[in-house]
Chain A
Amino acid sequence: MSAPTARAAAERRLYWAFADCWTIVRRDLTHLVKQPANIAWQLGFPIVSVLLFVYVFGSAMDVGGEGSYRDYAMPGMFAMTMAFGFMNTAMLVAVDKDRGVTDRFRSMPMARSAVVSGRGVSDVFGAALDLAVLALIAVVVGWRSDGGPLATLAAFALLLHLRFALIWVGVLLGLLVPNQEAAGGLFALAFPFGMISSVFTPPSMMPDWLGAIAMWNPVSSTANAIRELFGQPGTTGDSWIEQHALLMAVVWPIALTAVFLPLAVRRFQRLSR
């Protein structure tokens, strides 16, 4: 094969990697549109939490510092919703694997990367939609960002950044679980991951060992960073990790992606074993 044709072949492959990815994304977005109830289910937990923590426990909560508990909890809720998102990814991956759809894709002359990349792109779309709905509800209960428009946008970007990193955790887990029923059990993993963090309470108020885990939880870094960007009361801790929340809200997801993206891709390739 001469050089120009090799290059043309490489270009074709690249073209189809994107085109096939887009076909899969369109499929997933059709799912979103045809099942609006799913969004309600996914947001059910954060919404109930908002109501519980703001109206039921809110008056009894004092996290120190100035500002209301609502303003402390709301950014936490955003971060938690992103953290739980990997369960949706895992569930959808497990359903496709269970039903043989993944095998059909793998038996077709499409770009194999599209199966994974398509999932990733649509999950970011889905997460943006989740965030928009949740932000609307937050505004309804009286929450406002006290940061500038740019800082506010940056905060939402950081949230999607975390969600993007967790896609690969979701793909990996979705491929690892034996079936879709087992994927439902992943909530047992998501719950502590979302909750042992600064989402609802400052880690400084937890027992030392638990507080240390919570502080270093990537969800905490994102929650603390967006509190800073929203100009809202944050954790009062003075540990290194809490002092560098903005930096870590960028670094943590990159690190997670660096570890879990290759693992997910390897797991996908090992379906051939």
Chain B
Amino acid sequence: MNTPEVAVLAEGLAKRYGDKRALDGFDLAVRRGTVQGLLGPNGAGKTTAVRILATLLRLDGGRAVVAGHDVAREPHAVRRRIGLTGQYAAVDEILTGRQNLEMFGRLFHLDGRRARARAGELLERFGLADAAGKQVRHYSGGMRRRLDLASSVLLAPEVLFLDEPTTGLDPRSRNEVWETVRDLVAGGTTVLLTTQYLDEADQLADRIAVIDHGRTVAEDTPDGLKHGIGGDRVQVVLREAAELPRAAGIVARVAADGAAPDTDVAERRVGVPVTDGVAALTEVARALKDAGIGVADIGLRRPTLDEVFLRLTGHRTAAEETGGAGTGRTYGTEAAA
């Protein structure tokens, strides 16, 4: 399974802390040049997995190969090929941005001239050139993260681990970090991303693994995961609740696998799962118009990743609990249905 196409491979990873199993047979394979999201509730083992893959923690069982090298047997070779950005911007507050990059460059064993040149390049590329001579403690949260990312990619790593890279950032800084990550991926870097923000995974990840109780419980593309818990639904809100039975009859015609439409009288709403979303939507809209039924709203609704997450793990995300930034996040009745 250790083909050149796989940049990160984890097989049956196990990590125990006393009686607690932080990882309990964790599997993952990340294709080179892609972004793999790693989602899970707090304490599910995301950070433990990343720390093992980044050689910060020893594993108790299983096998992990990163950038072609076994993390247990050749940690030094792995370290030369990875970058790590953790939950806190791990940069020196007292040094300037430039001094930080030069120091980390030296520690990556670049010679003085190359470390300086590389620091200049990265400051430019990460939009920090103007702040290069300022002490990092005067940086904004977004600037710190970008400097942190820049420090992680000094050697142009094959694999970049991002452990909740935008936690605590405002939406604008978050967008800046996303742009930076997209640039890196376009340049061929493989990214393993853990996040609590599901829209972040939706935006960045090619594939998503959901981890719970130390093992992978689902792994697919974001669309695949959403499809897996029910796919698209056509949903209609009527002007008059009295028309609901007639509307349900019309909606039932497009139902997938003869599923029964569910109606909500209080909301004057009727919905049904469908297979070909767009065709079903057009058909229902036309049929309702022909029947002269007044429609307040009609739409195609796809499950959000939050619903996927809730279904798979039984937890809401921390981001939702703390009211973190997110787009179009609604917990419909479908999520619990």
Contact = CB atoms under 8 A, between A and B. Distances in A.
Interface in A254-273: 271-273
Contacts, number: 74
Contacts of B86: 100, 103-104
B256 interface: no
SS of A interface (majority): helix
Contact of B57 (A98, A108, A272): A272
Nearest to B76: A109
A20 B115 CA distance: 14
Interface residues of B, number: 30
Contact of B109 (A26, A106, A109): A109
Contact of A107 (B79, B88, B92, B94): B79
Interface string A92-135: 00000011110111111110001000000000000000000000
A106 B95 contact: no
A144 interface: no
B193 interface: no
Contacts of B57: 272-273
B88 A109 contact: no
B84 interface: yes
Interface residues of A, number: 27
Given A30-B95, A30-B99, A109-B80, A101 B90 contact: yes
Given A30-B95, A272-B56, A272-B58, A110 B108 contact: yes
Contact of B87 (A100, A101, A104, A110): A100
A216 interface: no
Contacts of B54: 107
A99 B95 contact: no
Contacts of A34: 94-95, 135
Contacts of A24: 107
A16 B109 contact: yes
B238 interface: no
Given A100-B88, A107-B54, A23 B94 contact: no
A20 B91 contact: no
Contacts of B94: 30-31, 34-35
B106 interface: yes
B276 to A, nearest CB: 47
Nearest to B151: A104
Contacts of A272: 56-58
B90 A103 contact: yes
Contacts of A7: none
B103 A23 contact: yes
Given A31-B94, A100-B88, A103-B86, A109 B79 contact: yes
A27 interface: yes
Given A101-B90, A101-B91, A107-B82, A20 B58 contact: no
Interface in B39-91: 54-58, 76, 79-80, 82-84, 86-91
Interface in B77-131: 79-80, 82-84, 86-95, 99, 103-104, 106-109
Nearest to B155: A109
B84 A103 contact: yes
Given A27-B95, A30-B94, A273-B58, A107 B103 contact: no
Nearest to B107: A110
Contacts of B79: 107-109
A16 B109 CA distance: 8
Contact of B107 (A20, A98, A273): A20
A273 B56 CA distance: 9
5 contacts: A16-B109, A19-B106, A99-B88, A104-B151, A107-B55
Interface of B: 54-58, 76, 79-80, 82-84, 86-95, 99, 103-104, 106-109, 135, 151
Task: For the complex of A and B, list the 7 residue pairs with the smallest distance between their C-beta atoms, beginning with the closest.
Answer: A100-B90, A104-B90, A109-B79, A110-B107, A107-B84, A109-B80, A23-B106
Given A23-B103, A35-B94, A106-B56, 11 more contacts: A20-B106, A98-B88, A101-B91, A103-B56, A103-B84, A103-B90, A107-B56, A107-B79, A108-B79, A109-B108, A273-B57
